Structure 1
Amino acid sequence: MNWQPNRSLATSLSNQIVQWITEQIQSGEWPLGTKLPPQRQLALSFGVNRSTLQEAIDELKANGLLSSKAGSATYVANDSWNLLVKQKQTNWQHYIETSIHKANYQTIQLINEFEQDDTVIRLGTGELSPSLLPTAELQNSLSEVNLDGKSIGYSSPQGSLSLRQSICQYVKRRGIETTPENICIVSGGLQALQLIALGLLETGSFVFQNQFSYLNSIHTFQSFGMNLYSLTDSQFTTEAIERIRKKRQAILYTIPSLHNPTGVSMTLKEKKRLYNLSEALQLPMIEDDVYFELLFDNPTPAIKSFDQTGQVLYIGSVSKTLSPGLRIGWVIASKAVIKRLADIKMQMDYGSSAISQQIVEYWLRTGKYEEHIGHLKAELKKRAAYTEKLLKQHFSNLASWESPKGGFYIWLKFHKPLVTTELFMRLLKKKVLINPGYIYAPNDAHHIRLSFAYSSEAELKRGIEILYAEVKLLLK
């Protein structure tokens, strides 16, 4: 929602809001039954006070265009005026509310919206700063790759053969021995999860995951009728999983290196224990390994390196390291699984970008990728140290955290349950955007996922100072 009233006009702000909302209803952008965003979100988007917004909404209710009940949301009204409009409109709101894929949480929708605002300090963003992306080198790559009519056409179902061959060589450093036939190129790690959900799991399946999980912030599995089941480390036992699983199909999801959001990495012993548990239960595992290259110390072998029976579905990607815009990742699995995922992928998008695949293949083959990773880790290490210095300055007595071992994140844990929607909205009004813990675990009020990978040092300093000031106000 990019519109805001024009303060230079003679027309009052509330009248401009009335006119704009009326136009949204007349044009069909807000069909009958549309649920309006919460008033504080609308006021923030419009850049006005709540009282100004309330004045506009009261007038629209008086005009019969909006309606609400005490204590409930506000909707586009279904009265006689709207019945005339309804004859010309499809009730898209009904389609939206009954569709398979459910809307994300309001906090995440706001994060997605305000991440596009360059005036906002992004303290939680899970991507690299534009200054850390090898923009010039990527541009130069276009003159180095060989593009012909075939190479820029539709991709084969599993993706570029030359890229898959390069990946085979690259993942040997993870202890993984594989073939091009065991690899499917995907449009980033998220699409890999979508393909697994659609192609391998039945409705009602269990997806076992850690207590705090990235999966809770997306609806990849939930929207297709699958159940996320969170377990603490001590609960990941044969007995616990057998008791929960019963006769339901199930799969285990893990990020063993630089876990999102906690930043924790498993030891080699912990990886072997988890794999042995998975093998004993014949419980397939998704190993999401998109962060391993960003470990400041040398990584331990991937869980996939222990796999002799195709138990592990391995996900890799360049989105966290080279460029999220290239949209290139990969799945390594048994040939039967890869054939299934490739078939589903071709039905969805007819293959990942051929040009992006050519660029990634060139970077892997020539060693440019490894060289870039070395420079990137050095920069991230500096940013991590600077961010931790700021945290020690402001939050030593208020919160705890582990020193980052790589990646993007510091998992900040407050001693008191302060991380609520109230804190999120108060910070957003101050142009500071955080990723609160409750989007990764329901009802969590202690954690914030802080990212040192996106904002500049000046922005990090300013953002953390504002966060500290708001926390102190809540503690009064």
Structure 2
Amino acid sequence: MDWKPDRYGELSLQEQIVRYFKEGILRGEWTVGARLPSQRILARLWQVNRSTVAQAMAELAALGLVEGQTGGGTRVVNESWSLLAAPPTDWGQVAESGRHQPNLPVIQTINRMEADPGIIRLGTGELAPELLPGREMARLLQEGAKRPVALGYEEPKGNPALRRRIAERLQERGIHATADSVLVVSGALQGLHLIAAGLMRPGSTVLAESPSYLHSVQVFQSAGIRLEGVPMDEAGLRAGLLERYSKQYQAAMLYTNPTFHNPTGKVMSGSRRKELLQTCRELRLPIIEDDVYGDLWLDEPPPPSLKSLDNHGDVLYVGSLSKSVSPGLRIGWVVGPRTAIDRLADIKMQIDYGASSLSQWAALQWLEDGWHERHLEQLRGQLRKRRAAAAAALDREFGGLARWSIPGGGFYIWMEFNRSLPMKQLFDAALREGILLNPGMVYGSEEKPCLRLSYSYASLEELSRGIGILAGLVRRL
């Protein structure tokens, strides 16, 4: 919410809040049935006493505009003319009838609270602003201003020069690819959406590691596709279980994030990768390989990707610049057999008529002019420092409380608590202390209490302080 009450305004804070919501309701910004943010969140965002917000809500309720509901927060129930005219559209009911499933409530809270500049983000899966190459990108754009820039639509698969550069870079990593087998997408997540919409039937099943990032988004579920988890061990997804799980659920595809896995940080061993490929080949089970963290090794390069070992076209490979360069650039890619890529490109044209031409142009210059490798070298150094700070804080604060392993790259440390713990209560308690967590339950880890900790966003001081506060909350709970 961009608006804030003016402490030095002519009206009192309470009167300003009442007028803000009143005008929003009258303009239709909040329609009948819409749920307003909680009083606690509003008080935090606006830095006012909660009693001020409560009094404002009471006045709005007296006007007949809102109504408090037990367990449901405050909802809009009326408009100035709705008693005299036909009832207005209940957009809440309309929204609930949509096919795309909403995010989990915890994920909605995380997405909302990440905009709070005063919160310590201990679970965020993106680079901190100071780790993004802002100055380098500005310089690149300045230097590139002398070059011609295309502002029209790109080809269905994306800018040809960018696709060639991506293919060349992948070939350097052992992945045989040509420009025709590369589809530029608006981030890796769109690539998964396209695969769900274009290559899978509603009612089919995708297998994935358990836990998995896929549980925190509704990309497959909203397409009517079931998601089933396959257990992991220290070497990654247990390929020996695939035959049983594939037959039991009549699986159509396998999704895997073998390198610096989200959320556990694990790296699938080289031998396990070969076993998985062979097993999926025998089961005729296509593979989606999510390799968005592949560049972010901190100790040593990971084993060769599944796609580099694929001699039969069984793997769809998904990559991105979001985790290493800029989430706002929205540039990713899907690499696979031309038949599948042509199908996905056709669907992409129906959705957005191609990724941003300007973003593709910037990504091309970034990759061609050598910026990417120089940036990765500096980024790895910064991530090593943050990983060390997180590890030191965990050793200092969480001895006897939890188990964890320090990953060889990526963003995440997966914590498993030694005792049963009410994770929703921990999430809420941490939020009250100004700390935002990513509990394991959003990744499908329901059996035991876990947390995904990230060292990519919080500063060194925030990591130390935040982990200390978190340990105190765990002890109390």
TM-score above 0.5, yes or no: yes
**Could you tell me which residue of structure 2 aligns to residue 243 of structure 1?**
247
User: Do the aligned partners of residues 317 and 419 (structure 1) sit closer, same or farther apart at CA in structure 2, a change above 3 Å counting?
Assistant: farther
CA distances 1:183-206 after superposition (whole Å, capped 9, x unpaired): 101111111111111111121121
Partner Cα distance (1:130, 1:390) in 2: 22
SS at match of 1:232: strand
Which consecutive residues of structure 2, in runs of 5 or more, have no partner in the other structure? 233-237
Q: Give the SS at the match of 2:419.
A: coil
Task: Tell me the CA shift for residue 144 of structure 1.
Answer: 4.3
- The superposition leaves residues 327-346 of structure 1 with CA deviations (integer Å, 9 ceiling, x where unpaired) of 11111011111111111112
- Correspondence for 2:279: 277
Cα drift, residue 244 of structure 1:
2.7
What residue is the counterpart of 2:169 in the other structure?
A: 170
Shift of 1:226: 1.4
SS of the equivalent of 1:299 reads: coil
Deviates more, 1:22-31 or 1:258-267: 22-31
Structure 2 residue aligned with 1:207:
206
| Cα offset, 1:174, TM superposition | 2.9
Instruction: Name 1:363's counterpart in structure 2.
Output: 366
Mapped partners of 2:285, 2:304: distance in 1: 20
Cα distance, 1:444–1:90 mapped onto 2, change above 3 Å: same
Q: For residue 30 of structure 1, what is the aligned residue in structure 2?
A: 30
Q: Alignment partner of 1:102: what SS? A: coil
Matched, 1:320 2:323: yes
* Residue 265 (structure 1) aligned with residue 264 (structure 2): no
Partner of 2:182 in structure 1? 183
**Which stretch of the first structure deviates more once superposed, 357-366 or 391-400?**
357-366
| Range 168-177 or range 12-21, more displaced | 12-21
**Helix, strand or coil for the counterpart of 1:460?**
helix
The Cα of 1:146 is off from its aligned counterpart by 7.5
> Which runs of 5 or more structure 1 residues have no equivalent in the other structure?
none
Q: What are the Cα deviations for residues 420-446 of structure 1, in whole angstroms up to 9, with x where unaligned?
A: 222222222222211111211263662
Deviation of 1:100 (Å) = 1.7
Name the counterpart of 1:391: 394
Shift in Å, 1:258 = 0.2
Deviation at 1:10, TM superposition (A): 8.3
Question: Aligned pair in 2 of structure 1 residues 85, 290: CA closer, same or farther (>3 Å)?
Answer: farther
Q: Deviations over 1:276-307 (max 9, x none)?
A: 22211111111000101111212211101222
1:118 matched to 2:117? The reply is yes
Contact 2:243 2:279 in 1 (8 A): no
- 1:134, CA displacement in angstroms? 2.0
Aligned partner of 2:438 among 425, 435, 438? 435
**1:9 Cα deviation after fit:** 6.3
Residue 100 of structure 2 aligns with which residue? 101
The answer to whether structure 1 residue 298 and structure 2 residue 301 are counterparts is yes
Structure-1 separation of matches of 2:476 and 2:432: 15
Q: Look up the match of 1:217.
A: 216
Matched, 1:471 2:463: no
CA contact (8 A) 1:26 1:85 kept: no
Number of aligned residue pairs: 471
Is 1:253 equivalent to 2:259 in the alignment?
A: no
Does structure 2 conserve the Cα–Cα contact (< 8 Å) formed by 1:419 and 1:448? no
Contact 1:145 1:358 in 2 (8 A): no
C-alpha distance 276-146 of structure 1, shift in aligned 2 (>3 A):
farther
Q: Quote the residue 2:66 is aligned against.
A: 66
Shift of 1:419: 5.4
Task: Give, in whole Å, the separation in 1 of the partners of 2:31 and 2:470.
Answer: 39
Q: Is 336-345 or 173-182 further displaced after alignment?
A: 173-182
AA paired with 2:440?
G
Whether the 8 Å contact between 1:142 and 1:359 is mirrored in structure 2 is yes
Alpha-carbon distance in 2 for matches of 1:61, 1:394: 46
Provide the rounded CA distance (Å) in 2 between the counterparts of 1:242 and 1:319: 32
Distance 2:375 2:426 in 1: 38
Deviation at 1:450, TM superposition (A): 1.2
Q: Which moved more, 1:131-140 or 1:192-201?
A: 131-140
Check conservation: 2:386, 2:455, Cα contact below 8 A: yes
1:327-346 alignment to 2 at 5 Å?
A: 327-346=330-349
What is the CA deviation profile of residues 13-69 of structure 1, one whole-angstrom value per residue up to 9, with x for unaligned ones?
666554444333322122122234555545545555666555555554454433466
- Separation in structure 2 between the aligned mates of residue 379 and residue 109 of structure 1, nearest angstrom: 30
Q: What SS does the aligned partner of 1:410 have?
A: strand
Distance change >3 Å, CA 19–CA 367, structure 1 → 2: closer
Could you say if the C-alpha distance between residues 67 and 120 of structure 1 is closer, same or farther in structure 2, counting changes exceeding 3 Å?
A: closer
- Worse overlay, 230-239 or 313-322: 230-239
Q: Which residue of 2 aligns with 1:417?
A: 420
- Please give the TM-score of this superposition, normalised by the length of structure 2: 0.90
Distance 1:443 1:155, change over 3 A: same
Q: Are residues 242 and 428 of structure 1, via their aligned partners in 2, closer, same or farther at CA, if it must alter by over 3 Å?
A: closer
Report the CA distance shift for 1:378/1:28 in structure 2 as closer, same or farther (over 3 A): same
Distance in 1, Cα, partners of 2:24 & 2:145 = 48
The answer as to 2:138 corresponding to 1:135 is no
Give the Cα–Cα distance (whole angstroms) in 1 for the partners of residues 230 and 192 of structure 2.
20
Q: Say if 1:362 and 1:50 are closer, same or farther in 2 by CA, change over 3 A.
A: closer
Does structure 1 conserve the Cα–Cα contact (< 8 Å) formed by 2:69 and 2:75? no
Whether contact under 8 Å (1:2, 1:45) holds in the other structure is: no
Distance across 2 between alignment mates of 1:403 and 1:120: 24
* Conservation of the 8 A alpha-carbon contact between 1:424 and 1:434: yes
User: Is the contact made by 1:189 and 1:315 (CA closer than 8 Å) also made in structure 2?
Assistant: yes
Q: How far does the alpha carbon of each residue in 1:235-256 deviate from its partner, in whole angstroms, 9 at most, with x for none?
A: 862442233323xx62111100
With 432-441 and 347-356 compared, the bigger mean Cα shift is at 347-356
Whole-Å Cα distance in 1 between the matches of residues 445 and 402 of structure 2? Answer: 20
Distance (Å, rounded) in 2 between the aligned partners of 1:167 and 1:404? 27
Counterpart residue identity of residue 24, structure 2: Q
Shift of the 54–443 alpha-carbon distance from structure 1 to 2, 3 Å rule, reads farther
Q: Which moved more, 1:215-224 or 1:51-60?
A: 51-60
RMSD of the TM alignment (CA)? Answer: 2.7
Q: Hey, what's the Cα distance between the residues in 2 that align with 1:336 and 1:268?
A: 29
